[in-house]
Amino acid sequence: MKRIEISISYCKVEEKELSEEDRALLDAARKATYRSYSPYSGFSVGAAVLLDDGTVVEGSNQENCSYPQGQCAERTALFYAGSRYPDRKILTICIAARGTDGAFTSSPISPCGGCRQVLLESEVRQKTPIGILLCGTDAIYRIDSARDLLPISFDNSYL
């Protein structure tokens, strides 16, 4: 029998437990939600990626009337970071969302399976873990590695 353990630390935004750097990243992710193109779902997601030189890259979900052609906020930001700054390492990605009522979600927003796979590839590519902040107004989850979000994952070690 194999036991898989996932470590997730948790903090409340109101307690100001976020570092100044993480707080700035949260603000960037929240601002990115306002650049979402989500006329079909009404669910506006923003992602902010912090690179090792201090650059912050933002992305938002971009929907399409042909639904599968849309793109999640996380992948928009990760692919932009990879194409614009291929030699920089990603330190942290922060994700926030607003629902159909326009308010930020109270529960932390979590990346879909496809984005988890892309996060993992980014981590494998740069050979260092990526911190992940899943943000809601009631709570924020900090996860230390993309691998924790995708246990028993498929990666390039199979190829």
Residue count at the site for Zn ion (CB under 5 A)?
Answer: 3
Lay out the site mask for Zn ion across 84-113 (x = CB under 5 A, - = otherwise): ----------------------------x-
* The dihedral sign for the CA sequence 122, 126, 128, 130: negative
- Tokens, residue 89: 């390492």
Count of alpha carbons within 13 angstroms of residue 144, beta-carbon side: 5
Give dist(CA 134, CA 49) in Å, integer.
12
Binding-site member from 29, 50, 90, 115 for Zn ion (CB under 5 A): 115
Q: Which residue is nearest to Zn ion (CB)?
A: 72
Residue 125 CB, nearest distance to Zn ion (Å)?
18
Residue with token string 């932390």 = 108
8 DSSP assignment: E
Which residue lies nearer to Zn ion by CB, 91 or 97? Answer: 97
Would you count residue 120 as binding Zn ion (CB under 5 A)?
A: no
Tell me if residue 74 is catalytic: yes
Which residue lies nearer to Zn ion by CB, 59 or 91? Answer: 59
Amino acid at 131: G
Give dist(CA 73, CA 111) in Å, integer.
9
Would you count residue 72 as binding Zn ion (CB under 5 A)?
A: yes
Annotated catalytic residue within 20, 58, 63, 74: 74
- For the annotated catalytic residues, the residue numbers are 74
Q: Which residues bind Zn ion (CB under 5 A)?
A: 72, 112, 115
